[in-house]
Amino acid sequence: MNSVDGDLRRRTNWGARCVCGLVSLAMGGTVLGLLPRGDDLEGSVSAPMPYAPALSMRTMERAPLVQVRMRPCDDGLCATDDPRMCTLYARGHRPKAGATDDISKSSGLNSNFVVQNPAWKWPQPNGTGTALTVTYSYSNLLDGGMKGVTAAQLRAGVVESLKLWAAVTPLKFVEVSDSGPTPSDTTYAPGSSPNLRFGHHAIDGASGVLAHAFYPFDVTGDGLSGDLHFDEGETWVVKPAGARIDFLETCLHEVGHALGLAHSATQQAIMFPFYAGRFSGLGSAFIFPDDRDGIQAIYGPKPTTIPVPVPPVPVPTPTPTSTVVTVAYNAATQTLTLTGDGSANALTLTQKGIMLTVTAGTGTTLSYQGVKKTTQTLVAPNGKIAIAGTLGSGSDSLTGVSLNVSTLQLDLSGGNDAVVLNLCNVDTLNLNGGSGTDTYAGTTSIVKLNTSTGFP
């Protein structure tokens, strides 16, 4: 009981009274899958539900054991005292005089993503993991009040942001006509207004709070639930440049709040509270595994997500011995090198945090530092690693799960090779299939540049 209380006290810093949005860091009828509008949200105006502290996934599993009490936010990240919304900050911003932006105090916890309140979500009548339509609209976002960007660019940024969250959840976002008051932070009756309303108003001028969004804290009683507001005092772009702020990164972050996520403690997360200029223009956005895990903790995974496949059994070789793949890791260059013996090799690479595991499939043995084994776990530094090597002319199979790599470059020349990437984030993919019938499956992964040859 005491350990749970302690966890609640630590995690309260991430949301009980925090305004969530993005700060900058010194460091209609269009549908996303065109659907008609569903039933309007209805319900009488009622008092908002009690505010509870943000809960980590570990605490959510044990929360019924304790009484959750509201505590003040003491991490210096609150831009207002309103616990219903959250903010994205500009680089170097200090939300409170004398406070620090040190969020590393949560780094020792088992999970980094934070669910603001398990009850603050868009309802799924059939339970977590089932299909849910979320409506959205543009209140005044496209009226020309956002300096530096066109209405077409803003619309494209919103659509790209929604598609990324929809790709890993059972959520479907449908654009509808806007209804409701001019954007402000004032409570209003939801009536038939959309779930998410994208708008702008003055917040605090340039380079402070970039935007904020309201959690789905009272979806039947308060129209502010799910509203997203961007600071019209900023100069916006859709590609980071100088002091101008990337609308795409800011929007992706704020949608996470409007769906129920609070700030994450890890910098490798879109829900990290500080703007970082991560993207290179429309079409380049992505979410991190931490963001995926967080949103799936609320709504469940996408029902059509392809399950992690079992590596295919290699074609038997004339010799009774297993094929051998030599594994080497260079910590200085953050490079994992795989060298096959030219026969049929079967490998699975799985990444969880800084732990990278190489597993040999049937008929394959690993050799690491001269010792033969079937599984080898490596501790890689934070950040993306590179994977390279040659597996040879046999019929090779490679399965990657949750990899976060800068380059995946393998020569699988010859044979009928199969490569499957599930929930991976790859900057550059370069596979040489050579001769034979080769197959590739990677619809659940993000690959920024694919220069592979020999694969369909």
SS3 296: helix
pLDDT for the residue numbered 108: 34
Q: How far apart are CA 97 and CA 87, in angstroms?
A: 17
- The domain that contains 146 carries what CATH number? 3.40.390.10
As beta bridge partners, residue 330 has: 335
Say how many domains are in the chain: 2
Does the model's pTM come out above 0.75?
Answer: no
| 248 within 8 A of 238, measured Cβ to Cβ | yes
One domain, residues 109 and 158: yes
Q: Based on the domain organization, do 277 and 332 belong to the same domain?
A: no
Q: Looking at the structure, tell me whether residues 280 and 330 fall in a common domain.
A: no
pLDDT value at position 401?
93
Q: Are strands 375-379 and 371-373 parallel, antiparallel or unpaired?
A: unpaired
**65 and 186 housed in the same domain:** yes
Q: CA torsion 156→162→163→165, rounded to 10°?
A: 150
318 within a domain of the structure (yes/no): no
Q: Which pLDDT score, from 0 to 100, does residue 76 have? A: 40
What would the 3-class secondary structure string for 236-251 be? EECCCECCEEEHHHHH
Q: In the prediction, which pLDDT does 200 show?
A: 98
Supply the pLDDT for residue 61.
32
Tell whether 182 and 76 lie within a shared domain. Answer: yes
Same domain, 119 and 264: yes
**What is the extent of the structural domain holding 162?**
2-299
Instruction: Give the model's pLDDT for residue 307.
Output: 57
> Do 271 and 388 fall into the same domain?
no
Cα–Cα dist 28/158, whole Å: 14
Structure tokens at 425: 């984030």
315 falls within a domain:
no
Burial of 72 (0-12, 13-18, 19+ CB in 10 A): exposed
The confidence score (pLDDT) of residue 215 equals: 95
Q: Give yes or no: residues 242 and 338 share one domain.
A: no
User: What is residue 306's predicted lDDT score, i.e. its pLDDT?
Assistant: 56
Report the C-alpha gap between 35 and 375 in whole angstroms.
Answer: 47
Q: What are phi and psi of 57, to 5 degrees?
A: -60, -35
Q: For the chain, how long is the longest CA-to-CA vector?
A: 75
108 and 237 in a single domain? The answer is yes
* Residue 77: per-residue pLDDT: 43
Q: What is the pLDDT of residue 314?
A: 74
In a domain, 26, yes or no: yes
Residues with pLDDT less than 50, the chain = 1-20, 25-80, 92-111, 319-320
Q: Within this chain, do residues 291 and 330 fall inside the same structural domain, yes or no?
A: no
306 neighbors 356 (Cβ within 8 angstroms): no
